[in-house]
Structure 1
Amino acid sequence: MDTQAIKKESETIVSSFDGEICDWLPVYDISQMRSDSEIINRALIMNAMINIAFNAPIDFIKNYIDENQLAEHLSDVEKTILTQSEENISEQDKINLHWYLESLWALIWVMNKFDDLSFPYPIPDDMIDYCPDLQQDEGPEKFTKDIEIRSFEEIYKMRDVYYRAMWSCRHYQLNNDPHDNFNMSIIMERRRALSWCLDKQLDWDDVPQDT
């Protein structure tokens, strides 16, 4: 895999959306990708946890996770959230879970459910159609049947685009000149998911977001 060629391709993509380029921004090292089951389990957990941001009963979400043998794959932060009640969960926790929508959208791309994960575009209104609907008592089948996880190289290329897009976003922020194509929260959350997929050593609660 030619990481320098991937870097150049990513720079072209970022430039096409009016982004700034940092020539000396390095390339990622090659790491060990997670298994298909790890990626699917993370997507299932996130899809469930998102419902808490929309005021679903926490016990209901915990039971779903337990019934589908997902508890061992929870992050430490997620485990803590599931010990709380609707009355004492913090607004910040709910905000963080709401942003899971963007990370999950990236994982659905990793699962090859759609093709275009361009960073300027928010999640579509029909995202729910790709996901198990817990309110309709749907099981995990939408994430477990007929899934073909993209290759390391495909995900690496996309992560590289988001890495360089994040640098451009920070450039605009530092210059107090926000750009419509570079939303930091969208870019950060999707990059987090892509990076986690590509490196078995990363902790979901602490994925590096440096540029």
Structure 2
Amino acid sequence: MWFNQKIKPEDVKLKNTKFLRSNGIDVIEHLPYLDTPNFRDPEQIAKRMMVQLAIFQLHLEAPNRIIKKWIEDNELSDFLTSGEMKYLQSDYQDLPEQDQIDIYWYVEAIWTFAWIGGLHNKLTFNTGVEDSLASMTPKIEKNEPAESFIKKFKLRSRLEIFEMLDKFYRAHWFARNNDLTGKESDKVDLDIIMERREALEYTCYNEYEWDSISLDT
């Protein structure tokens, strides 16, 4: 694709390594550069975001029958993973604790997709989702349809998205290494980084399915 010609992963690695180190996030030199991206189209990304927005409502105590109907009415069923289908088959309080935790963390992916779509400019390694997110998305509790949001969803610069993924990949190594060695840094939050990186990986690599994305460092 034409936009891939403008993205040089080796150069992005060098630029981000320098940037991160200058901001107190140390990364190793031999951490490889990422593969050349093959971006998903905006409609696919917006639909994945809408599915996750809907599933997250379960954490907010929305009845699963209402969420399931909203997904069906907005023709999003094909974007459900097998795990998400399982979430909708049981009441939220009856789901295993780990499933409930996974659903809670969906909000980080939704926030990241909103950044990818240019809806905000506050994607960090260490600060949580802002309340403004609610104003950026359809209000499922009011049964607002997803169609308009999906049609209007546009990607910010692909180079900017790829550079952000590369930053999160390298910051992920730093956060994980701190976790393994018992070190602490207020510049990174491992859980936040992992969830946001997953959404960036999904966007940049069309060949990855949501439930099979590797977060290796």
TM-score class, shorter-chain normalisation, is over 0.9
Which of 60, 82, 89 matches 2:95?
89
Which of 141, 153, 160 matches 1:154?
160
Residues 63-92 of structure 1 deviation map (CA, whole Å, 9 limit, x = unaligned): 000000000111111111112224522222
Tell me the CA shift for residue 150 of structure 1. 2.2
Which of 29, 39, 49 matches 1:23?
29
In 2: Cα distance, 1:37 partner to 1:141 partner = 10
Three-state SS of the structure 2 residue aligned to 1:101 is helix
Counterpart AA for 2:79: H
- The 5 A counterparts of 1:45-84 are 45-84=51-90
TM-score normalized by the length of structure 1: 0.93
Asked if the contact 1:43–1:104 (Cα under 8 Å) also holds between the matched residues in 2, the reply is yes
Q: Structure 1 stretches (4+) deviating beyond 6 angstroms?
A: none
- The 5 A counterparts of 1:117-136 are 117-136=123-142
Three-state SS of the structure 1 residue aligned to 2:152 is coil
Percent identical: 29
Asked if the contact 1:130–1:142 (Cα under 8 Å) also holds between the matched residues in 2, the reply is no
In structure 1, what is the equivalent of residue 174 of structure 2? 168
Which of 43, 46, 58 matches 2:49?
43
The reply to whether residue 189 of structure 1 matches residue 195 of structure 2 is yes
Asked if the contact 2:116–2:155 (Cα under 8 Å) also holds between the matched residues in 1, the reply is yes
Tell me the CA shift for residue 138 of structure 1. 2.0
Residues 145-173 of structure 1 deviation map (CA, whole Å, 9 limit, x = unaligned): 53321233221111000000000101211
Tell me the CA shift for residue 4 of structure 1. 2.0
In structure 1, what is the equivalent of residue 209 of structure 2? 203
In 2: Cα distance, 1:117 partner to 1:124 partner = 10
Pick which of 119-128 and 12-21 moved more: 12-21
Change (3 A) 1:187 1:86: closer
In 2: Cα distance, 1:74 partner to 1:86 partner = 17
Change (3 A) 1:133 1:13: farther
- CA-based RMSD of the aligned residues comes to 1.6
In 1: Cα distance, 2:67 partner to 2:185 partner = 37
Pick which of 80-89 and 26-35 moved more: 80-89
Counterpart AA for 2:202: W
In structure 1, stretches of 5+ residues that fail to align are: none
In structure 2, what is the equivalent of residue 105 of structure 1? 111
In 2: Cα distance, 1:47 partner to 1:13 partner = 32
Tell me the CA shift for residue 182 of structure 1. 1.1
Which of 1, 5, 22 matches 2:11?
5
Tell me the CA shift for residue 12 of structure 1. 2.9
Tell me the CA shift for residue 142 of structure 1. 6.3
In structure 2, stretches of 5+ residues that fail to align are: 1-6
In 2: Cα distance, 1:168 partner to 1:177 partner = 10
Count of residues in Structure 1 that have an aligned counterpart in Structure 2: 211
